[in-house]
Amino acid sequence: MTKENWFVHIKVLVLSSIFASIGNWINTIKSGNPVTPLGALPGMLLLFFITIVGLIIWDLIGKMTGGKNLPAIAYISLIAIIMTIPGVPGAEFVASSINKIGLLPLCTPILAYAGISIGKDLDTFKKQGVAIVLVSLFAFFGTYVGSAIIAQIILKVTGVI
């Protein structure tokens, strides 16, 4: 990855962290247990650190294998999983810090950034034709229905419903 790419990655991560912290604060106010952006800071810093380390590993492996690599999210997830395994030093702190941050507030700025990214390539998107729209709709629908089915099964198995 070039120096410019790293700058963009870090800038996007910092902005996403700020917006996610504010979104998390608003979300937790609604639930009655507010977590201020300052209270979420340790978790956000840990997520930032985990993401940067995962990107470094992804970049190094990509350079060593000539571009043949897993997606960066695989390395980021692996690091996060390892850091929260019970018995690993600091795992309890990592888990409790990150537990203060909701998933939805994290997804919102990332999805907004993805929408902006697609918007700047709208002409290319239009050239793809109707097929890309149909494939996207089926993918979104399939993901939604699949998630709902999995959630329903888990809720029944655990006795929640």
CB-based contacts of 76, cutoff 8 Å, min separation 6: 50, 51, 53, 54, 55
For the stretch 52-111, pLDDT in tens is 999 999 999 999 988 788 888 899 999 999 999 999 999 999 999 999 998 888 887 777
What pLDDT score does 89 carry? 94
CA gap 41, 26 in Å, rounded: 15
Local confidence band at 118 (pLDDT 50, 70, 90 cut-offs): low
pTM, to two decimals: 0.69
**Contact yes or no for 44/29 (Cβ under 8 A):** no
CA gap 36, 42 in Å, rounded: 11
Residues for the chain: how many in total?
161
To the nearest whole percent, how much of the chain has pLDDT over 70? 95
